[in-house]
């Protein structure tokens, strides 16, 4: 794997005059790709100055190490997570200049995104090049996930991932190195150190010896590290070969710190002359990798001066022609602007829902969840479960995964590091590689380190790749209060994630719904946040007869729990049960209360809610999340927009106070809505 070409010896030992034909072909190919990349940089900046494009990130000065990697790894077999400056690398593995300019001009036929993603954000399904986002560092854990998936599937490939040195200040970089090193995963990390993260020098970034990234990582036993001159193609290529040998021998991942030069500003929006000395910029020009390689080839008789000049003209002409062709391509039409936020295939509608029988045996909600996971694991051998403490003998802090690692083995059900971004980022990579990760985040309160992975990777994956890539990760997460868990074991998270397009959110209130919704989540092609109220896990009123192994509940279908005529109550989770008990009490007083359990936050079943409002003419929305910007506010707004003419009273909400949830039960009951408060407010609106 990896070595398409004969190894070039180290630059100290190479006999340039004795280079064989294969080496000459490799060297000339490398130079040509480097010239194409440089011509693209120059052309893109000219187009931007002409007002014909909007953004560019130049790779000038980085070309040698990028081409060395691109010509060493196997396109269409190995996987690639480059960063936005890696134009030479993506050209080396098969991205064409025309494809670059289709994205540069944001054309409809842009194969990377259909005009949805910024220029220099690569994507190609055929090249194993997943769609790239803009946040620096999120790609590291995704790459580890793809590598882990290969190990799980028994496939042999290398996963490449790169960034600049500034990104190594991100925690997810360190988490990725830790995970890959611990499990000896086949990952090639490349850090292209041009000493500037926009304007911030590496001295203000890295705590490694001599501000070295590789030195900072030297404590990892299984990690190959090297610090090289990344402007020298010979040294770069030789080091990449050594790194590949280390990886292919099963010794672990490799990290190459390539010292390069940034010959243009950080991006088209930057001017490096404002913060870099003139002498430093001139010194960098003398380290130009193209000049270095071309001079060596000319000096050793591999290339004549005239041939070099012809090659420069040829590549410039090729880039000009590619830009002209791309500019003439059609622009995207407005109708596609909101396409592919979610899966638009027929899969979701093809599933058979609520078709099966219930057994006589009742189960509590946590056991129903366990049964759903067990059944789906048996049905789908691509499904993997992991998270903190989820393997036996612990089986999860709430025992929701008890027995699963014993039954399916530690290969498919395993403990993760105590790092939420790692859990979600690695799961994302596994999903990209075709597996079905179902992960557990112990408490909703601790999901926030992973929020970048959800918002910037999982949620936008399908949209930004124009339906080429998706990451249908299922996240089980315990949420909710009323258990005296204090500030950090009581949070509700649904309203925050509801603001992120591209993720479905389920929030069941009973055992049967939990099982049916979770099984559906495991079969969908979209990512799902599955909220499990820990106060309902073993609650007697949330038990239900156990559905069989084919029981599915559709997302976006609410359930009318109690029918009534005087008022509609919309709720979910534990608050649903407080609403039911209030409705029963009001029924004894002669009032008729309709109670709706929405079951999924996203998608929301508006039709069931609106039909009920048209019947009862009054509505109150109840949940335990905060009042301000809780999801009830969204429901209330939609009712006001669509049902105003049917209302005989204001649209009311009951929710927690806008405060943190305290530990004392006396204080907690002041913050969270109580059953007595819910009864009182429903009655007040009935009598309005």
Single out the catalytic residue among 56, 62, 246, 489. 489
Would you call 583 helix, strand, or coil by DSSP?
helix
Rounded distance between C-alpha atoms, residue 189 and residue 224, angstroms: 10
CA 342 to chain centre: 14
Give the residue from 687, 685, 682 showing the smallest Cα distance to 586: 682
Burial track 626-656 (b if 16+ CB lie within 10 A, e otherwise):
bbeebbbbbbbeebeeebeeebeeebbbbbb
| C-alpha pair distances (Å), 313 with each of 36, 296, 306, 319 | 10, 20, 11, 10
Give the residue from 262, 319, 309, 238 showing the smallest Cα distance to 47: 319
DSSP E strands, 140-184: 159-164
Residue 350 contacts by C-beta under 8 Å, 6 or more apart in sequence? none
SS3 sequence, 618-672? CEEEEEEEECCCCHHHHHHHHHHHHHHHHCCCCCEEEEECCCCCCCCHHHHHHHC
* Pair 650, 599: CB distance under 8 Å: no
246 catalytic? Reply is: no
Strand-strand pairing, 254-259 and 358-363: unpaired
DSSP bridge partners of 559:
597
- How many beta carbons lie within 10 A of that of residue 294, not counting itself? 20
Would you call 84 helix, strand, or coil by DSSP?
coil
Rounded distance between C-alpha atoms, residue 95 and residue 111, angstroms: 10
Please classify residue 59 by burial: count the beta carbons closer than 10 Å to its beta carbon, then call 0-12 exposed, 13-18 middle and 19+ buried: buried
Six-digit token string for 305:
């001066």
* Pair 127, 154: CB distance under 8 Å: no
- How many beta carbons lie within 10 A of that of residue 520, not counting itself? 24
Rounded distance between C-alpha atoms, residue 485 and residue 493, angstroms: 15
Residue 602, φ and ψ in degrees, nearest 5: -125, 120
Residue 32 contacts by C-beta under 8 Å, 6 or more apart in sequence? 311, 315
DSSP bridge partners of 475:
439, 529
- Residue 603 preceded by cis peptide, ω within 30: yes
Six-digit token string for 202:
């590496």
Please classify residue 550 by burial: count the beta carbons closer than 10 Å to its beta carbon, then call 0-12 exposed, 13-18 middle and 19+ buried: middle
Rounded distance between C-alpha atoms, residue 89 and residue 94, angstroms: 9
Find the helix or strand (DSSP H, E) in which 595 lies.
strand 593-597
Would you call 122 helix, strand, or coil by DSSP?
coil
Strand-strand pairing, 196-197 and 413-415: unpaired
Six-digit token string for 659:
């405060």
Six-digit token string for 220:
């990892």
Six-digit token string for 551:
């029981």
Q: Give me the active site residues, please.
A: 489
């Amino acid at each position: 794997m990896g070595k398409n070409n004969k190894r070039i010896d180290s630059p100290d030992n190479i006999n340039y005059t004795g280079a064989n034909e294969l080496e000459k072909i490799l060297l000339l190919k490398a130079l040509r790709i480097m010239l194409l990349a440089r011509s693209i940089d120059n052309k893109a900046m000219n187009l931007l100055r002409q007002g014909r494009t909007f953004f560019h990130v130049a790779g000038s000065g980085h070309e040698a190490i990028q081409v060395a990697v691109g010509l060493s790894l196997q396109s269409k077999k190995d996987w690639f997570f480059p960063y936005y400056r890696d134009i030479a690398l993506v050209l080396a593995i098969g991205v064409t200049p025309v494809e670059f300019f289709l994205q540069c001009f944001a054309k409809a036929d842009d194969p990377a995104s259909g005009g949805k993603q910024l220029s220099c954000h690569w994507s190609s399904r055929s090249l194993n090049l997943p769609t790239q986002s803009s946040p620096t560092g999120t790609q590291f854990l995704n790459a580890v996930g793809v590598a882990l998936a290969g190990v799980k599937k028994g496939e042999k490939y290398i996963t490449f991932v790169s960034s600049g040195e500034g990104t190594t200040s991100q925690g997810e970089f360190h988490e990725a190195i830790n995970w890959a090193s611990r499990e000896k995963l086949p990952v090639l990390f490349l850090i292209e150190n041009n000493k500037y993260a926009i304007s911030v020098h590496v001295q203000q970034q890295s705590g490694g010896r001599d501000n070295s990234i590789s030195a900072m990582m030297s404590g990892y036993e299984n990690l190959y590290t090297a610090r090289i001159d990344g402007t020298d193609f010979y040294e770069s290529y030789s080091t990449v070969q050594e790194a590949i040998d280390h990886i292919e021998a099963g010794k672990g991942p490799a990290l190459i710190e390539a010292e390069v030069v940034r010959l243009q500003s950080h991006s088209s929006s930057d001017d490096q002359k404002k913060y870099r000395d003139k002498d430093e910029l001139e010194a960098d020009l003398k380290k130009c990798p193209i000049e270095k390689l071309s001079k060596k080839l000319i000096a050793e008789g591999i290339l004549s001066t005239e041939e070099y000049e012809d090659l420069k003209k040829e590549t410039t002409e090729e880039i000009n022609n590619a830009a002209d062709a791309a500019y003439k391509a059609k622009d995207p039409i407005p109708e596609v602007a909101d396409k592919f936020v979610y899966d638009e295939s027929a899969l979701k509608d093809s599933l058979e829902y609520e078709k099966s029988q219930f057994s006589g045996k009742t189960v509590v909600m946590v056991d129903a969840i366990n049964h759903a996971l067990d059944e789906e694991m048996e049905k789908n051998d691509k499904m993997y479960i992991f998270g903190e403490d989820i393997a036996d003998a612990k089986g999860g802090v709430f025992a929701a995964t008890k027995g699963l690692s014993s039954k399916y083995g530690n290969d498919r059900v395993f403990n993760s590091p105590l790092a939420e971004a790692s859990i979600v980022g690695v799961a994302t990579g596994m999903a990209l590689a075709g597996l079905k990760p179902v992960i557990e985040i112990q408490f909703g309160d601790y999901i926030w380190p992973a929020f970048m992975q959800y918002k910037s990777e999982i949620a936008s994956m399908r949209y930004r790749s124009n339906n080429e890539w998706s990451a249908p990760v299922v996240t089980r997460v315990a949420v909710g209060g009323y258990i005296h868990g204090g500030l950090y074991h009581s949070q509700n998270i649904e309203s925050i994630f509801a603001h992120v397009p591209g993720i479905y959110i389920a929030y069941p209130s009973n055992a049967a719904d939990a099982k049916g919704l979770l099984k559906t989540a495991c079969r969908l092609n979209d990512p799902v946040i599955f909220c499990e109220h820990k106060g309902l896990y073993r609650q007697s009123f949330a038990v239900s007869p156990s559905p069989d192994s084919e029981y599915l509940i559709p997302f976006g279908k609410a359930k009318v729990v109690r029918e009534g005529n005087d008022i509609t109550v919309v709720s979910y989770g534990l608050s649903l049960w407080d609403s039911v008990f209030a409705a029963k009490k009001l029924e004894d007083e002669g009032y008729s209360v309709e109670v709706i359990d929405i079951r999924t936050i996203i998608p929301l079943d508006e039709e069931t809610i609106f039909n009920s409002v048209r019947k009862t003419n009054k509505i109150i929305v109840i949940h335990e999340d905060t009042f301000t910007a809780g999801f009830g506010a969204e429901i209330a707004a939609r009712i006001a927009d669509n049902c105003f003419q049917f209302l005989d009273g204001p649209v009311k909400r009951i929710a927690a106070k806008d405060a943190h949830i305290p530990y004392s039960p006396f204080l907690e009951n002041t913050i969270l809505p109580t059953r007595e408060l819910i009864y009182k407010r429903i009655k007040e609106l009935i009598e309005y």
